[in-house]
Structure 1
Amino acid sequence: MTAKRSRVGAAALGAALLPAAALAEGTLTISVYSFAQDEFQEIVYDPFMEICDCEIVVETGNSVERLAKIEANKDAPVIDMAVLSTHDALGAARKGLLAPIDVTSLKNHDKLYDIAKDPLGDNLGVGYTFYATSIVYRSDKVTVESWADLLSPELAGNVALPDVTTNQGPPALYMIGEAMGDADYSLSAPIEEVAAHADDIVTFYVRSSQLAQLMQQEEIWAAPVGRFAWASFKDNGLSMAWATPTEGQTGGMNVMVMTANNGNEDLATRFMDFWLSTEVQTKLAEALVDSPANAEVVVSDEIADNLTYGAETVASLKLLPPDVILDQRETWLDQWNSKVMK
């Protein structure tokens, strides 16, 4: 194929208009998150197309939409590989939508941090990025040394917590439980504790952008947040700090997955390997797109300050297992609605 390009769209309209034969040979169709697509085009898609002499069709959308499309086309896959959260990926695997990745063909697999090598089990996914979740706070107002400090008298009326339906919610509750000496995945104890302090919580947020505004308006002094949002706080003109709680940090991970029986496994595997390479992961980190899962990546202190970076940080992450998130989230929501939101 001499004409190499990627087509990006919410539903890859161009792909839908082409006959199947035109997309069958030398074309890789991927399903990804919609953010930072200009950077991914420059750093990942275009360079890979030059190497493989192939075409990449990029489909974007939220996780629900993308998973629904993969499931709807289970018998005749239209997606070759996708990137998902660990729990969404495990949910897809349980429905028989994914195939194991041949990690022996990934020359960059051994370069990954251990937590990224096989986070789902059976090589059904490979971690390509992760993020820490900790507590951002006003260092001129309070000192935060423990997750328990979120419910302390010093922060009463000046703290926000994530809603249980968000990606940050259950991990933050789990860490509050850790601080209480209760690490049970039921989250019953921390949910009860949050319920007891509900009147002291300014809001249970659903978007980190809400927090940035509340912090700027000085309505809150502290809140759990993903590291990817740290840049919007640290340069807001206030005295801001990122906590390193005694119980550790939590967070999340995104993985690459292979759809089952897509017929394009070799090209998809080559693309995954390219994405996991030290060069590509370094460029994505320097562009502040993704925190690197490749342990060989080295970036400046200034760049590292905006990322979840380095062996020590990675070792401190206490990630909720994806099967726990899948199996417990309805119970968590029921408890939350009955105890906290009553």
Structure 2
Amino acid sequence: MKLVTAMLAGASVLTAVPAFAAEITINSFGGAYEEAHRKCVIDPFTAETGADVKIVTAYSADAFAQLRAQKDAPQYDVIHFSGGQEIVGAKEGLLAPIDAAKLSNAADLYPFAGAKMAEGEGPAYQIAAIGLLYNSDELSEAPSNWADLMEPALAEGLVLTDISNTYGLFGFLMLNQVAGGDLDNIQPGLDAVKAMLENGAFVVSKSPEIQQAFAQGGTVVAPYASDYAYTLRKAGLPIKFQQGAEGTPASYITANLVAGRDNQDLALKFIDIELSPEAQACFAEALRYTPTNSKTELPDEVAADVAYGEEGVASLLRFDPEVIEANRADWVIEWNKAIAQ
């Protein structure tokens, strides 16, 4: 657990916002993400309100478990999820509905990002877009379709990620969809993967193994998240990101208002800053997450790594998190059988 402290911005700030408490509690995801969170949101929030931010470093599943355990006496004011936990949290009454009129940036969000705020599902303030990472030194043209990955000619240079990894799962579900499957039937995707492996593709479990595969040579393409292409380039590898023409699976990162807390005005202010074009441009620059505010402006080199603008976000699709959660364990068993053959 970490605590961000800041000098109060003076009596004038406290006078201007008398309803605001002196501190809010949020979760963040640690490491580089938490560093960006501080720079892009927390520091500007503290400067504007004079309030401190107490950070609990907790990923989505752990944060949601804590929220449930604290149901009668919640400790978080704003809670962030990347796995769709806001859908269940809203249904269980753990999250409070958000009035879009109380957020100055809500009107500028792409419609998908804030569609269910009134039902308690917090807005998406950034997106991890899943597409095709490719070696630009080895491929003269970017692979433009998910179906390209099924071509035998690409198989020996293809790296797939195990579906125990969320990004790997989203990539597989997209391949399954292209192969004719859906969330009720993943067999077409499993058959496609078996064919890829027979033709020379291989499977890794974690993102560092993708980097190793590209660094060792021979790997030319891997379905994965846009932010990781940037990580690989920072490591000196010539890796670029390309959205597949059939669609771009999206992992929503959401900011949610916790029910039952007495400083919701301050919490809403924090969420509003996360939705601002300035904060989202900052996150995109630092980590290459896709902005959800339509007024966010990015330089060309950053825009190339994300799903940017009206055209870029038009192909985003979200596989139902509730269906995924209900079936994931069974899918992993079937996946393991398929890749073992």
Same fold (TM over 0.5): yes
Letter paired with 2:22: G
Deviates more, 1:269-278 or 1:180-189: 180-189
Letter paired with 1:324: V
Residues 100-153 of structure 1, C-alpha deviations (whole Å, 9 max, x = no match)? 222221121111111111258724211100022111223554552322222321
State the partner residue of 1:117. 114
| Distance in 1 (alpha carbons) for counterparts of 2:277 and 2:243 | 27
> How far is 1:213 from its partner?
1.6
Contact 2:78 2:256 in 1 (8 A): yes
State the partner residue of 1:146. 145
Seen in structure 2, the aligned counterparts of structure 1 residues 201 and 325 have a Cα distance that, compared at 3 Å, is farther
Contact 2:155 2:200 in 1 (8 A): yes
Seen in structure 2, the aligned counterparts of structure 1 residues 56 and 269 have a Cα distance that, compared at 3 Å, is same
| Distance in 2 (alpha carbons) for counterparts of 1:284 and 1:163 | 27
Calculate percent identity across the aligned residue pairs: 29
Residue 43 (structure 1) aligned with residue 47 (structure 2): no
State the partner residue of 1:32. 28
> How far is 1:46 from its partner?
2.2
| Distance in 2 (alpha carbons) for counterparts of 1:103 and 1:290 | 23
| Distance in 1 (alpha carbons) for counterparts of 2:187 and 2:117 | 25
**Secondary structure class of the residue paired with 1:131:** strand
**Secondary structure class of the residue paired with 1:285:** helix
Seen in structure 2, the aligned counterparts of structure 1 residues 25 and 137 have a Cα distance that, compared at 3 Å, is closer
Seen in structure 2, the aligned counterparts of structure 1 residues 69 and 284 have a Cα distance that, compared at 3 Å, is same
**Secondary structure class of the residue paired with 2:166:** coil
| Distance in 2 (alpha carbons) for counterparts of 1:121 and 1:46 | 28
Normalising by structure 1, we get a TM-score of: 0.84
**Secondary structure class of the residue paired with 2:64:** helix
Unaligned runs of 5+ in 2: 6-19
Contact 1:252 1:319 in 2 (8 A): yes
Residues 301-337 of structure 1, C-alpha deviations (whole Å, 9 max, x = no match)? 1222233322111111122122332233233223213
Residue 275 (structure 1) aligned with residue 271 (structure 2): no
> How far is 1:162 from its partner?
1.5
> How far is 1:157 from its partner?
2.9
| Distance in 2 (alpha carbons) for counterparts of 1:233 and 1:152 | 25
**Secondary structure class of the residue paired with 2:112:** helix
Residues 280-319 of structure 1, C-alpha deviations (whole Å, 9 max, x = no match)? 2233333346432111011211222233322111111122
**Secondary structure class of the residue paired with 1:242:** strand
**Secondary structure class of the residue paired with 1:256:** strand
State the partner residue of 2:104. 107
| Distance in 1 (alpha carbons) for counterparts of 2:317 and 2:285 | 25
Structure 1 residue corresponding to 2:125, chosen from 108, 125, 128:
128
Seen in structure 2, the aligned counterparts of structure 1 residues 297 and 338 have a Cα distance that, compared at 3 Å, is same
State the partner residue of 1:323. 322
State the partner residue of 2:180. 181
Count of aligned pairs = 323
Residue 68 (structure 1) aligned with residue 51 (structure 2): no
Q: For the aligned residues, what is the CA RMSD? A: 2.7
Residues 2-60 of structure 1, C-alpha deviations (whole Å, 9 max, x = no match)? xxxx8159xxxxxxxxxxxxxx9421111121133333223321221232222211111
**Secondary structure class of the residue paired with 1:99:** coil
**Secondary structure class of the residue paired with 1:164:** coil
Letter paired with 2:26: I
**Secondary structure class of the residue paired with 2:73:** coil
Letter paired with 1:309: Y
Contact 1:87 1:325 in 2 (8 A): no
Q: 1:305-316 to 2 correspondence within 5 Å?
A: 305-316=304-315
> How far is 1:238 from its partner?
6.1
Residues 193-234 of structure 1, C-alpha deviations (whole Å, 9 max, x = no match)? 213443445542232222122111114221101000112344
Deviates more, 1:195-204 or 1:153-162: 195-204
| Distance in 2 (alpha carbons) for counterparts of 1:119 and 1:153 | 42
| Distance in 2 (alpha carbons) for counterparts of 1:125 and 1:117 | 7
**Secondary structure class of the residue paired with 1:230:** helix
> How far is 1:269 from its partner?
1.0
Contact 1:44 1:280 in 2 (8 A): yes
